Amino acid sequence: MAWSLRPGGLEVRVRVTPRGGRDSLDGVERLSDGRTVLKVRVRAVPEDGAANEGVRRLLARTLKVPASAVSLETGATARLKTFLISGQGEELSAALAALTGRDIP
């Protein structure tokens, strides 16, 4: 699954499309190596951390948590990134599952 429970929150693996024309979650995708990621599209350009900030704010807004609860863990300069979302992991997982039409992992 593109996300997994962590102590104190949820780890979310994303594939980001910067300059995507809109800010949206576009579902879950399986990569060629078998990993799954949440597809995220943001309007921001991939310069000076703008796209990372766009993803961070989109995840926060979508999951109804403060932006400060979402932090970039890995992949600052890559399309594949890992974000950590602080909060009730089970509730966050259920919310993502509902948004993407996936079963809770």
Q: Write the pLDDT tens digit of every residue in 17-41.
A: 999 999 999 999 999 999 999 999 9
Look at residue 104 in the predicted model and tell me its pLDDT. 54
How many of the other CB atoms lie within 10 Å of CB of 55?
25
Q: Write the pLDDT tens digit of every residue in 73-95.
A: 999 999 999 999 999 999 999 99
Which CATH number does 3-98 carry?
Answer: 3.30.1200.10
How many of the other CB atoms lie within 10 Å of CB of 73?
13
Q: Is-above-0.75 flag for pTM?
A: yes
Tokens representing residue 58 in the block: 């989109």
- In which residue are the tokens 């509730």 written? 91
Look at residue 102 in the predicted model and tell me its pLDDT. 67
Cα–Cα distance between 13 and 36 in angstroms, integer?
8
